[in-house]
Amino acid sequence: MPADLDDLFVGLARAADAVPLGAAERARCRGRQRNRNQAVLAAAVVLLVAVGVVAGLRPQRHDAQPVAPVRPLTEVGSPIEFGGKASAAYSTIAGERSFTAWRSADGTVRVVAQDLHTAAVAWPARSLGRFDDFASVTAVPQALLVFVVPDSDAVPLNDIYPDREIHVLDPATGRERWKVKSAVADSLLVNDRGLVRTEAGTGRTEAFDWSTGATLWSVPAGADRAQYTVGMRTANDEDITRQTDDRMVQVTKSGQVRVVDTTDGRLLKTTTIPAPGQGYTFIAYEGWLFNNERSAGVTSPFRVRATDLSSGNSSVLLDLPAGHEVGSLWPCGSGRLCVSETDRDVNTTVRAIEVAGGQQLWQMAGPRGGAYGFSMRGYSMLAGNEATLLDPSGRPVTAITGSDSLHWLGDDGLLVVTKEGTVQKMRLSDGRTTTLGQMPVPASMCVNTDTRIVCPSETEVRTWSLTG
Protein backbone atom coordinates (compact mmCIF):
# COMPACT_ATOMS: atom_id res chain seq x y z
CA MET A 1 0.00 0.00 0.00
CA PRO A 2 1.33 3.49 -0.74
CA ALA A 3 2.78 5.39 2.15
CA ASP A 4 0.42 8.37 2.25
CA LEU A 5 -2.97 9.56 1.27
CA ASP A 6 -1.65 11.85 -1.45
CA ASP A 7 -0.60 8.86 -3.50
CA LEU A 8 -3.84 7.05 -2.85
CA PHE A 9 -5.89 10.05 -3.92
CA VAL A 10 -3.73 10.53 -7.01
CA GLY A 11 -4.69 7.00 -7.94
CA LEU A 12 -8.34 7.74 -7.25
CA ALA A 13 -8.17 10.91 -9.37
CA ARG A 14 -6.62 8.92 -12.18
CA ALA A 15 -9.45 6.38 -11.97
CA ALA A 16 -12.01 9.19 -11.95
CA ASP A 17 -10.40 10.77 -14.97
CA ALA A 18 -10.87 7.50 -16.82
CA VAL A 19 -14.62 7.44 -16.22
CA PRO A 20 -16.28 8.03 -19.59
CA LEU A 21 -18.51 11.09 -19.58
CA GLY A 22 -21.35 11.82 -21.92
CA ALA A 23 -21.22 14.76 -24.29
CA ALA A 24 -22.44 18.21 -23.27
CA GLU A 25 -25.21 17.89 -25.82
CA ARG A 26 -26.54 14.88 -23.96
CA ALA A 27 -26.71 16.92 -20.73
CA ARG A 28 -28.53 19.67 -22.60
CA CYS A 29 -30.94 17.15 -24.04
CA ARG A 30 -31.57 15.74 -20.57
CA GLY A 31 -32.04 19.27 -19.24
CA ARG A 32 -34.58 20.04 -21.93
CA GLN A 33 -36.38 16.82 -21.12
CA ARG A 34 -36.45 17.73 -17.41
CA ASN A 35 -37.81 21.13 -18.30
CA ARG A 36 -40.53 19.52 -20.34
CA ASN A 37 -41.41 17.13 -17.55
CA GLN A 38 -41.54 19.88 -14.97
CA ALA A 39 -43.02 22.65 -16.97
CA VAL A 40 -46.46 21.34 -17.66
CA LEU A 41 -47.79 24.77 -16.85
CA ALA A 42 -44.90 26.72 -18.17
CA ALA A 43 -45.52 25.69 -21.74
CA ALA A 44 -48.26 27.62 -23.41
CA VAL A 45 -47.81 26.10 -26.81
CA VAL A 46 -47.69 22.53 -27.86
CA LEU A 47 -44.29 22.72 -29.38
CA LEU A 48 -41.60 25.31 -29.11
CA VAL A 49 -38.08 24.33 -29.87
CA ALA A 50 -34.98 26.27 -30.61
CA VAL A 51 -32.81 24.33 -32.95
CA GLY A 52 -29.79 24.66 -35.08
CA VAL A 53 -27.47 27.48 -35.89
CA VAL A 54 -27.77 28.29 -39.54
CA ALA A 55 -31.06 29.48 -40.91
CA GLY A 56 -32.82 27.49 -43.53
CA LEU A 57 -35.52 25.04 -44.13
CA ARG A 58 -34.41 21.90 -45.89
CA PRO A 59 -37.28 20.05 -47.47
CA GLN A 60 -35.96 16.59 -48.20
CA ARG A 61 -38.32 15.63 -50.93
CA HIS A 62 -38.83 18.89 -52.71
CA ASP A 63 -36.65 21.34 -54.50
CA ALA A 64 -36.11 24.63 -52.79
CA GLN A 65 -38.61 27.25 -53.78
CA PRO A 66 -37.35 30.09 -55.96
CA VAL A 67 -35.90 32.91 -53.95
CA ALA A 68 -38.24 35.86 -54.03
CA PRO A 69 -38.72 38.91 -51.88
CA VAL A 70 -40.80 37.98 -48.88
CA ARG A 71 -43.71 40.29 -48.24
CA PRO A 72 -44.14 41.65 -44.74
CA LEU A 73 -46.40 39.80 -42.39
CA THR A 74 -49.59 41.76 -41.75
CA GLU A 75 -49.41 43.41 -38.35
CA VAL A 76 -52.54 43.59 -36.24
CA GLY A 77 -53.00 46.70 -34.10
CA SER A 78 -50.03 48.58 -32.72
CA PRO A 79 -47.03 47.38 -30.74
CA ILE A 80 -47.23 47.63 -26.99
CA GLU A 81 -43.96 49.06 -25.76
CA PHE A 82 -42.42 48.03 -22.47
CA GLY A 83 -40.93 51.45 -21.75
CA GLY A 84 -37.37 50.20 -21.76
CA LYS A 85 -35.39 47.08 -22.31
CA ALA A 86 -36.89 44.04 -20.62
CA SER A 87 -34.66 41.36 -19.11
CA ALA A 88 -37.27 38.77 -20.03
CA ALA A 89 -40.61 38.82 -21.82
CA TYR A 90 -43.05 36.01 -22.57
CA SER A 91 -46.53 35.78 -24.05
CA THR A 92 -49.32 33.25 -23.74
CA ILE A 93 -52.75 32.81 -25.28
CA ALA A 94 -56.03 31.64 -23.78
CA GLY A 95 -59.33 31.90 -25.63
CA GLU A 96 -59.62 35.23 -27.43
CA ARG A 97 -56.87 36.97 -25.48
CA SER A 98 -53.13 37.15 -25.44
CA PHE A 99 -51.21 38.00 -22.28
CA THR A 100 -47.68 39.30 -22.16
CA ALA A 101 -45.52 39.66 -19.05
CA TRP A 102 -42.07 41.20 -18.88
CA ARG A 103 -39.47 42.17 -16.30
CA SER A 104 -37.98 45.66 -16.54
CA ALA A 105 -34.44 46.61 -15.68
CA ASP A 106 -35.46 47.62 -12.16
CA GLY A 107 -36.98 44.18 -11.56
CA THR A 108 -40.62 45.18 -11.91
CA VAL A 109 -42.74 42.48 -13.52
CA ARG A 110 -45.75 43.73 -15.46
CA VAL A 111 -48.44 41.95 -17.41
CA VAL A 112 -50.84 43.22 -20.08
CA ALA A 113 -53.80 41.62 -21.87
CA GLN A 114 -54.83 42.12 -25.50
CA ASP A 115 -57.71 41.07 -27.64
CA LEU A 116 -56.26 38.46 -29.94
CA HIS A 117 -58.30 39.46 -32.98
CA THR A 118 -57.65 43.22 -32.89
CA ALA A 119 -54.61 43.45 -30.60
CA ALA A 120 -56.46 46.15 -28.66
CA VAL A 121 -55.55 46.39 -25.00
CA ALA A 122 -58.05 44.37 -22.97
CA TRP A 123 -56.66 45.62 -19.69
CA PRO A 124 -53.64 47.88 -19.23
CA ALA A 125 -50.26 46.81 -17.93
CA ARG A 126 -50.36 45.91 -14.24
CA SER A 127 -47.38 45.65 -11.96
CA LEU A 128 -46.98 42.56 -9.81
CA GLY A 129 -44.03 44.00 -7.88
CA ARG A 130 -40.27 43.75 -8.10
CA PHE A 131 -38.64 40.36 -8.38
CA ASP A 132 -35.18 39.00 -8.94
CA ASP A 133 -36.31 36.83 -11.81
CA PHE A 134 -39.29 36.21 -14.04
CA ALA A 135 -39.66 32.65 -15.28
CA SER A 136 -42.79 32.38 -17.39
CA VAL A 137 -46.44 33.22 -17.89
CA THR A 138 -49.21 30.85 -18.88
CA ALA A 139 -52.96 31.08 -19.12
CA VAL A 140 -55.89 28.74 -18.83
CA PRO A 141 -59.49 29.86 -19.29
CA GLN A 142 -59.95 30.28 -15.55
CA ALA A 143 -56.69 31.99 -14.59
CA LEU A 144 -53.51 33.68 -15.65
CA LEU A 145 -50.37 32.40 -13.93
CA VAL A 146 -47.13 34.36 -13.65
CA PHE A 147 -44.04 32.56 -12.35
CA VAL A 148 -41.46 34.73 -10.57
CA VAL A 149 -38.48 34.31 -8.24
CA PRO A 150 -38.69 36.90 -5.46
CA ASP A 151 -35.14 36.58 -4.12
CA SER A 152 -32.42 34.99 -6.19
CA ASP A 153 -30.05 35.02 -3.21
CA ALA A 154 -32.34 32.39 -1.83
CA VAL A 155 -32.20 30.54 -5.12
CA PRO A 156 -32.04 26.96 -4.07
CA LEU A 157 -29.12 24.77 -4.64
CA ASN A 158 -31.61 22.04 -5.24
CA ASP A 159 -34.94 21.80 -6.98
CA ILE A 160 -37.17 21.28 -3.99
CA TYR A 161 -36.68 24.54 -2.14
CA PRO A 162 -39.81 26.64 -2.77
CA ASP A 163 -38.07 29.68 -4.20
CA ARG A 164 -40.60 30.31 -6.94
CA GLU A 165 -43.89 32.18 -6.57
CA ILE A 166 -46.91 31.65 -8.77
CA HIS A 167 -49.12 34.74 -8.98
CA VAL A 168 -52.65 33.85 -10.04
CA LEU A 169 -54.56 36.64 -11.81
CA ASP A 170 -58.10 37.03 -13.08
CA PRO A 171 -57.69 36.85 -16.87
CA ALA A 172 -60.75 39.06 -17.34
CA THR A 173 -59.51 42.00 -15.29
CA GLY A 174 -55.85 41.42 -14.45
CA ARG A 175 -56.61 41.60 -10.73
CA GLU A 176 -54.30 39.45 -8.64
CA ARG A 177 -56.31 36.84 -6.82
CA TRP A 178 -53.75 34.92 -4.82
CA LYS A 179 -50.23 33.56 -4.94
CA VAL A 180 -48.49 30.43 -3.80
CA LYS A 181 -44.88 29.33 -3.40
CA SER A 182 -43.79 26.40 -5.49
CA ALA A 183 -40.45 24.72 -6.10
CA VAL A 184 -39.12 24.03 -9.57
CA ALA A 185 -39.47 20.31 -8.99
CA ASP A 186 -43.09 20.50 -7.83
CA SER A 187 -45.63 18.90 -10.09
CA LEU A 188 -48.36 21.28 -11.28
CA LEU A 189 -51.55 20.23 -13.04
CA VAL A 190 -54.70 22.15 -13.84
CA ASN A 191 -58.36 21.30 -14.21
CA ASP A 192 -61.53 23.36 -14.45
CA ARG A 193 -61.65 23.91 -10.70
CA GLY A 194 -58.10 24.76 -9.83
CA LEU A 195 -54.39 24.20 -9.63
CA VAL A 196 -53.12 20.87 -8.31
CA ARG A 197 -49.66 20.94 -6.79
CA THR A 198 -47.62 18.00 -5.53
CA GLU A 199 -44.69 19.27 -3.50
CA ALA A 200 -41.39 17.64 -4.36
CA GLY A 201 -40.04 18.36 -0.91
CA THR A 202 -42.86 16.84 1.11
CA GLY A 203 -44.87 14.70 -1.30
CA ARG A 204 -48.09 16.43 -0.19
CA THR A 205 -50.71 17.03 -2.90
CA GLU A 206 -53.05 20.01 -2.66
CA ALA A 207 -55.64 21.52 -5.00
CA PHE A 208 -56.20 25.30 -4.94
CA ASP A 209 -59.40 26.95 -6.09
CA TRP A 210 -58.86 29.23 -9.08
CA SER A 211 -60.92 32.07 -7.63
CA THR A 212 -59.85 32.17 -4.01
CA GLY A 213 -56.76 30.03 -3.66
CA ALA A 214 -58.58 28.06 -0.96
CA THR A 215 -57.65 24.44 -0.58
CA LEU A 216 -60.19 22.30 -2.40
CA TRP A 217 -58.70 19.05 -1.24
CA SER A 218 -55.37 17.72 -0.08
CA VAL A 219 -53.65 14.39 0.36
CA PRO A 220 -50.81 14.12 2.88
CA ALA A 221 -47.61 12.55 1.73
CA GLY A 222 -47.69 9.57 4.03
CA ALA A 223 -44.73 7.33 4.66
CA ASP A 224 -44.52 6.21 1.05
CA ARG A 225 -44.59 9.58 -0.62
CA ALA A 226 -45.10 10.42 -4.28
CA GLN A 227 -41.88 10.70 -6.25
CA TYR A 228 -43.46 11.37 -9.63
CA THR A 229 -46.79 12.94 -10.57
CA VAL A 230 -48.09 13.19 -14.13
CA GLY A 231 -51.41 14.13 -15.67
CA MET A 232 -53.28 11.63 -17.81
CA ARG A 233 -53.28 12.76 -21.43
CA THR A 234 -55.43 11.66 -24.31
CA ALA A 235 -55.02 11.85 -28.06
CA ASN A 236 -57.14 15.02 -28.01
CA ASP A 237 -54.71 16.89 -25.78
CA GLU A 238 -52.80 18.95 -28.26
CA ASP A 239 -52.15 21.56 -25.61
CA ILE A 240 -50.05 20.09 -22.83
CA THR A 241 -51.18 22.77 -20.42
CA ARG A 242 -54.57 21.09 -20.21
CA GLN A 243 -55.57 17.50 -19.91
CA THR A 244 -59.04 16.52 -20.98
CA ASP A 245 -58.82 13.53 -18.66
CA ASP A 246 -59.24 14.55 -15.01
CA ARG A 247 -56.90 11.90 -13.69
CA MET A 248 -53.37 12.11 -12.48
CA VAL A 249 -50.95 9.30 -11.75
CA GLN A 250 -48.54 9.30 -8.84
CA VAL A 251 -45.68 6.85 -8.42
CA THR A 252 -44.42 6.54 -4.87
CA LYS A 253 -40.97 5.87 -3.57
CA SER A 254 -41.74 2.16 -3.17
CA GLY A 255 -43.26 1.87 -6.64
CA GLN A 256 -46.93 2.05 -5.78
CA VAL A 257 -48.90 3.59 -8.65
CA ARG A 258 -51.88 5.69 -7.59
CA VAL A 259 -54.50 6.94 -10.01
CA VAL A 260 -56.19 10.01 -8.51
CA ASP A 261 -59.18 12.08 -9.62
CA THR A 262 -57.85 15.64 -9.76
CA THR A 263 -61.27 17.17 -9.22
CA ASP A 264 -61.72 15.79 -5.72
CA GLY A 265 -58.58 13.88 -4.77
CA ARG A 266 -60.26 10.48 -4.77
CA LEU A 267 -57.98 7.47 -5.13
CA LEU A 268 -59.34 5.56 -8.12
CA LYS A 269 -56.90 2.71 -8.56
CA THR A 270 -53.59 1.36 -7.31
CA THR A 271 -51.03 -1.04 -8.69
CA THR A 272 -47.30 -1.52 -8.28
CA ILE A 273 -44.19 -1.32 -10.42
CA PRO A 274 -40.49 -1.52 -9.45
CA ALA A 275 -39.42 1.33 -7.16
CA PRO A 276 -38.46 4.32 -9.33
CA GLY A 277 -34.98 5.79 -9.38
CA GLN A 278 -33.93 9.40 -9.85
CA GLY A 279 -34.35 11.05 -13.20
CA TYR A 280 -36.88 8.60 -14.58
CA THR A 281 -39.49 9.79 -17.05
CA PHE A 282 -43.16 8.92 -16.61
CA ILE A 283 -45.90 9.46 -19.20
CA ALA A 284 -49.59 8.77 -18.57
CA TYR A 285 -51.55 8.40 -21.77
CA GLU A 286 -54.92 6.89 -22.64
CA GLY A 287 -55.06 4.76 -19.49
CA TRP A 288 -51.43 3.58 -19.67
CA LEU A 289 -48.39 4.57 -17.69
CA PHE A 290 -45.01 4.47 -19.44
CA ASN A 291 -41.61 4.91 -17.86
CA ASN A 292 -37.93 4.24 -18.28
CA GLU A 293 -36.09 2.40 -15.51
CA ARG A 294 -32.93 0.52 -14.65
CA SER A 295 -33.40 -3.20 -15.08
CA ALA A 296 -31.73 -3.97 -11.74
CA GLY A 297 -29.11 -1.99 -9.80
CA VAL A 298 -27.81 1.51 -10.44
CA THR A 299 -25.43 0.36 -13.14
CA SER A 300 -27.75 -2.01 -14.94
CA PRO A 301 -29.12 -1.33 -18.43
CA PHE A 302 -32.20 0.79 -18.96
CA ARG A 303 -35.52 -0.50 -20.20
CA VAL A 304 -38.99 0.87 -20.92
CA ARG A 305 -42.04 -0.28 -18.98
CA ALA A 306 -45.74 -0.08 -19.84
CA THR A 307 -48.43 -0.41 -17.20
CA ASP A 308 -52.10 -0.85 -18.04
CA LEU A 309 -53.81 1.23 -15.37
CA SER A 310 -57.14 -0.54 -15.90
CA SER A 311 -55.94 -4.05 -15.23
CA GLY A 312 -52.80 -3.19 -13.27
CA ASN A 313 -50.74 -5.41 -15.57
CA SER A 314 -47.24 -4.18 -16.14
CA SER A 315 -44.60 -5.39 -18.56
CA VAL A 316 -41.31 -4.41 -20.18
CA LEU A 317 -41.74 -2.99 -23.67
CA LEU A 318 -38.11 -2.54 -24.55
CA ASP A 319 -34.75 -3.65 -23.14
CA LEU A 320 -31.79 -1.45 -24.02
CA PRO A 321 -28.19 -2.64 -24.33
CA ALA A 322 -25.74 -1.66 -21.60
CA GLY A 323 -24.59 1.93 -21.88
CA HIS A 324 -27.68 3.10 -23.75
CA GLU A 325 -29.94 5.71 -22.20
CA VAL A 326 -33.55 6.64 -22.81
CA GLY A 327 -33.62 10.23 -24.00
CA SER A 328 -37.31 10.71 -24.41
CA LEU A 329 -40.65 8.89 -24.35
CA TRP A 330 -43.76 10.24 -26.04
CA PRO A 331 -47.07 8.86 -27.27
CA CYS A 332 -47.02 8.94 -31.07
CA GLY A 333 -50.54 7.97 -31.96
CA SER A 334 -53.23 6.00 -30.29
CA GLY A 335 -51.81 2.84 -28.74
CA ARG A 336 -48.27 3.75 -29.74
CA LEU A 337 -45.23 4.81 -27.78
CA CYS A 338 -42.10 6.35 -29.29
CA VAL A 339 -38.74 5.96 -27.59
CA SER A 340 -35.58 7.93 -28.29
CA GLU A 341 -32.38 6.38 -26.94
CA THR A 342 -28.69 7.15 -27.20
CA ASP A 343 -25.63 4.95 -27.02
CA ARG A 344 -22.30 5.81 -25.41
CA ASP A 345 -21.29 7.81 -28.47
CA VAL A 346 -24.58 9.74 -28.28
CA ASN A 347 -25.86 8.18 -31.48
CA THR A 348 -29.63 8.29 -31.37
CA THR A 349 -32.17 5.65 -32.31
CA VAL A 350 -35.91 6.28 -32.35
CA ARG A 351 -38.42 3.45 -32.17
CA ALA A 352 -42.20 3.25 -32.29
CA ILE A 353 -43.79 0.41 -30.34
CA GLU A 354 -47.33 -0.85 -30.46
CA VAL A 355 -48.18 -0.87 -26.77
CA ALA A 356 -50.73 -3.63 -26.40
CA GLY A 357 -48.73 -6.25 -28.25
CA GLY A 358 -45.25 -4.89 -27.58
CA GLN A 359 -44.35 -5.06 -31.27
CA GLN A 360 -41.82 -2.66 -32.72
CA LEU A 361 -43.43 -0.82 -35.62
CA TRP A 362 -40.40 1.01 -36.96
CA GLN A 363 -37.04 2.42 -36.00
CA MET A 364 -34.80 5.12 -37.45
CA ALA A 365 -31.59 6.96 -36.70
CA GLY A 366 -32.20 10.25 -34.89
CA PRO A 367 -30.03 13.37 -34.61
CA ARG A 368 -26.71 12.76 -32.92
CA GLY A 369 -26.62 13.94 -29.33
CA GLY A 370 -30.08 12.74 -28.38
CA ALA A 371 -33.55 13.92 -29.21
CA TYR A 372 -36.87 14.44 -27.58
CA GLY A 373 -40.17 14.14 -29.31
CA PHE A 374 -43.67 15.52 -29.57
CA SER A 375 -46.54 14.17 -31.56
CA MET A 376 -49.74 15.30 -33.20
CA ARG A 377 -52.04 13.35 -35.49
CA GLY A 378 -49.50 10.55 -35.48
CA TYR A 379 -46.73 12.81 -36.79
CA SER A 380 -43.73 13.28 -34.53
CA MET A 381 -41.32 16.16 -34.28
CA LEU A 382 -37.88 15.06 -33.18
CA ALA A 383 -35.98 17.95 -31.66
CA GLY A 384 -32.36 18.03 -30.66
CA ASN A 385 -29.49 19.66 -32.45
CA GLU A 386 -31.78 19.67 -35.43
CA ALA A 387 -35.45 19.00 -35.91
CA THR A 388 -36.96 16.25 -38.02
CA LEU A 389 -40.61 15.72 -38.83
CA LEU A 390 -41.59 12.04 -39.01
CA ASP A 391 -44.77 10.68 -40.51
CA PRO A 392 -46.78 7.98 -38.68
CA SER A 393 -44.70 5.24 -40.31
CA GLY A 394 -41.44 6.77 -39.12
CA ARG A 395 -40.39 8.20 -42.47
CA PRO A 396 -38.64 11.56 -42.24
CA VAL A 397 -40.80 14.14 -44.00
CA THR A 398 -38.51 17.10 -43.52
CA ALA A 399 -35.39 18.04 -41.61
CA ILE A 400 -35.30 21.56 -40.27
CA THR A 401 -32.17 23.36 -39.21
CA GLY A 402 -31.83 26.88 -38.00
CA SER A 403 -35.45 27.64 -37.28
CA ASP A 404 -35.99 29.63 -34.15
CA SER A 405 -39.25 28.01 -33.22
CA LEU A 406 -41.77 25.46 -34.39
CA HIS A 407 -45.40 25.30 -33.43
CA TRP A 408 -48.22 23.00 -34.42
CA LEU A 409 -50.58 24.91 -36.67
CA GLY A 410 -54.12 23.71 -37.16
CA ASP A 411 -54.77 20.06 -37.84
CA ASP A 412 -52.26 19.53 -40.56
CA GLY A 413 -49.43 21.98 -40.28
CA LEU A 414 -46.40 23.34 -38.55
CA LEU A 415 -45.63 27.02 -38.13
CA VAL A 416 -41.94 27.63 -38.70
CA VAL A 417 -40.29 30.90 -37.66
CA THR A 418 -36.77 31.21 -38.98
CA LYS A 419 -34.02 33.11 -37.24
CA GLU A 420 -34.44 35.88 -39.81
CA GLY A 421 -38.10 36.28 -38.90
CA THR A 422 -39.58 34.54 -41.93
CA VAL A 423 -42.83 32.83 -41.00
CA GLN A 424 -43.77 29.71 -42.93
CA LYS A 425 -46.48 27.10 -42.81
CA MET A 426 -45.42 23.54 -43.44
CA ARG A 427 -47.88 20.85 -44.42
CA LEU A 428 -47.42 17.75 -42.28
CA SER A 429 -48.25 15.24 -44.97
CA ASP A 430 -45.51 16.17 -47.42
CA GLY A 431 -43.42 18.89 -45.83
CA ARG A 432 -44.39 21.49 -48.41
CA THR A 433 -43.91 25.01 -47.12
CA THR A 434 -45.78 28.21 -47.79
CA THR A 435 -44.19 31.49 -46.78
CA LEU A 436 -46.70 33.59 -44.91
CA GLY A 437 -44.54 36.68 -44.54
CA GLN A 438 -41.63 38.36 -42.93
CA MET A 439 -41.46 39.96 -39.50
CA PRO A 440 -39.33 43.12 -39.51
CA VAL A 441 -37.55 42.03 -36.35
CA PRO A 442 -36.77 38.38 -35.69
CA ALA A 443 -38.56 37.16 -32.59
CA SER A 444 -37.95 33.84 -30.94
CA MET A 445 -40.55 33.55 -28.20
CA CYS A 446 -43.73 33.77 -30.23
CA VAL A 447 -47.00 32.04 -29.43
CA ASN A 448 -49.77 31.46 -31.92
CA THR A 449 -53.23 30.27 -32.81
CA ASP A 450 -54.34 29.30 -36.29
CA THR A 451 -54.86 32.97 -37.18
CA ARG A 452 -52.53 35.06 -35.01
CA ILE A 453 -48.94 35.03 -33.84
CA VAL A 454 -47.88 37.13 -30.84
CA CYS A 455 -44.21 37.94 -30.45
CA PRO A 456 -42.57 39.66 -27.48
CA SER A 457 -39.13 41.16 -27.98
CA GLU A 458 -36.83 42.99 -25.57
CA THR A 459 -38.78 46.22 -25.93
CA GLU A 460 -42.32 45.47 -27.10
CA VAL A 461 -44.92 42.90 -28.03
CA ARG A 462 -46.46 42.77 -31.51
CA THR A 463 -49.31 40.77 -33.00
CA TRP A 464 -49.40 39.52 -36.59
CA SER A 465 -51.99 37.91 -38.77
CA LEU A 466 -51.33 34.46 -40.19
CA THR A 467 -54.21 34.72 -42.63
CA GLY A 468 -53.26 37.87 -44.51
Partner 1 sequence: MKDADEFDNFYRDTSRRLARYAYGLTGDPADAQDLVQEAYARAWQRWRQLSGYEDQEAWLRLVVNRLSADRWRRLGVRRARAAAERPPLPAAPPSEDTVLLIRALRTLPMVHRRALALHYLLDRSIAEIAAETGASTGTVKSWLSRGRTGLAAVLGDERAPEGARDAR
- Residues binding partner 1 (CB under 8 A): 1-9, 11-22, 24-28, 30-35, 50, 52-53, 133, 152, 155, 157-159, 184, 278-279, 298-299
The answer to whether residues 143 and 177 touch, using CB atoms and an 8 Å cutoff, is yes
Which of 242, 331, 330, 272 is CA-nearest to residue 45?
242
Least separation in angstroms between CB 17 and partner 1: 6
The answer to whether residues 265 and 258 touch, using CB atoms and an 8 Å cutoff, is no
- First CA to last CA distance, the chain: 79
Least separation in angstroms between CB 38 and partner 1: 8
Least separation in angstroms between CB 420 and partner 1: 15
Pairing status of strand 282-285 against strand 226-233: parallel
Least separation in angstroms between CB 27 and partner 1: 4
Specify the residue, 114 or 292, whose C-beta has the smaller distance to partner 1. 292
Q: Which residues of 325-336 are buried (b: 16+ CB within 10 A; e: fewer)?
A: bbbbbbbbbeeb
Least separation in angstroms between CB 295 and partner 1: 13
Specify the residue, 133 or 206, whose C-beta has the smaller distance to partner 1. 133
Least separation in angstroms between CB 185 and partner 1: 10
